[in-house]
Amino acid sequence: MTRPVVAVVDAKTSGNVGTIARAMKNFGFRDLYLTDPPDLSRDSEAYGFAGQAREDVLPDAEVVDFDSLVENFHTVGFTAITNEDARKHTRWPYTTPEELRETLGEVDAPTCLVFGREAVGLHNEELERLDQVASIPASAEYPVMNLGQAATIALYELQELARDDTQLPEKERERAAEAEIERYYDHVDDFLDDIDYPEEKQAKTMRLVRRVLGRAHPTGREIATLHGILRRTENRLGDDATDN
């Protein structure tokens, strides 16, 4: 799959461009295109905000015109404000980043994610020329985000289209052997007897315990720890009974 590129149109603040470059580096995106960019010299805010992206993403950014983006890429423009129905086509239909991740993941095509200005975003005339419109779900009271913030959220949602791997280990979880889990259920059942738990409630309680652990997929160590808690409680109850 071709990794999407990112374009920023007419940003007014170099710090936002640096923030976007950093988010690109975080989530595996590499190629940054800029239309009418602000000052991006080495002593600008952009390099202060870019983190390690100051080493490649930001200095390698290419300045292009809007026509070049439209002519060379499948373009997806991001906007906070959408139309409510299909009577106006400029900002409708739109897709969320989550939906976009699914659809773009099925197509191998040169794709460009286009973000607009800090104050007004992409103009309608620009959105009309783009292939798709996307919008991040947000509070209806205040859906408009800072440019760098919006791009960071979108790139996070779309990172599976760009990054090769992450710093996180594989989320493999080895469930305890069923025999171990069953022994724990027996232990709980015996414990309820020992504390004179109401007999009419015991069967229901055991079903609840089974369902909770069934959803949790406990490891062997976790089951051993739960056994240990019951044993310490039993020992303490035994000590109290002896004292009395």
| pLDDT confidence bin for 166, thresholds 50/70/90 | low
Q: Taking the CB of residue 159, how many other CB atoms lie within 10 A of it?
A: 17
DSSP 241: H
Residue 217 has pLDDT above 90, yes or no: no
Domains of the chain, CATH where assigned = 5-161 (3.40.1280.10), 178-243 (1.10.8)
Quick check: 10 and 117 in contact, CB under 8 A?
yes
- Centre a 10 Å sphere on the Cβ of residue 8 and count the other Cβ atoms it contains: 25
Answer whether the bond into residue 93 is a cis peptide, omega within 30°. yes
Mean pLDDT of the chain: 86
Report yes or no on whether pTM surpasses 0.75: no
Instruction: Return d(Cα 61, Cα 78) in angstroms, integer.
Output: 20
Percent of the chain with pLDDT over 90: 51
Query: For residue 237, what are its two tokens?
Result: 């109850």
* Average pLDDT of the residues in 226-241: 86
Q: Does the pLDDT of residue 157 top 80, yes or no?
A: yes
Region class of 243: left (phi > 0), else alpha (psi between -120 and 50), else beta: alpha
DSSP class of residue 131?
Answer: S
Q: Averaged over 220-232, what is the pLDDT?
A: 92
Distance CA 118, CA 115 (A): 9
Pick 239 or 204 by higher pLDDT.
Answer: 204
The yes-or-no verdict on residue 140 having pLDDT over 70 is yes
The token pair that represents 157 in the structure block: 């949602």
Alpha carbon distance 191, 202 (integer Å): 11
What is the separation, in whole angstroms, between the first and last Cα of the chain? 73
Among the ranges given (11-15, 168-172, 182-186, 199-203), the one the predictor scored with the smallest mean pLDDT: 168-172
Beta strands, E only, the chain: 5-9, 32-35, 62-63, 74-78, 111-115, 132-134
* pLDDT class of 106 with cuts at 50, 70, 90: confident
Instruction: Say if residue 222's pLDDT is above 60.
Output: yes
| Local confidence band at 124 (pLDDT 50, 70, 90 cut-offs) | confident
Q: How far is CA 153 from CA 69, 145, 157, 193, 216, in A?
A: 22, 10, 6, 53, 30
For the ranges 51-65, 100-114, 118-132, the maximum mean pLDDT occurs at 51-65
pLDDT band per the 50, 70, 90 thresholds, residue 170: low
Take residue 91 and report the two structure tokens written for it: 């900002």
Long-range CB contacts (within 8 A, 24+) of 163-169: 163/27, 163/28, 164/28
Mean pLDDT of 154-182: 76
pLDDT at 241: 61
Tell me the per-residue pLDDT of 31-86, one tens digit each, with 9 for 90 and over.
Answer: 999 999 999 999 999 999 999 999 999 999 999 999 999 999 988 999 876 655 55
Written as six digits, the tokens of 226 are 């739960």
3-class SS at 48? helix
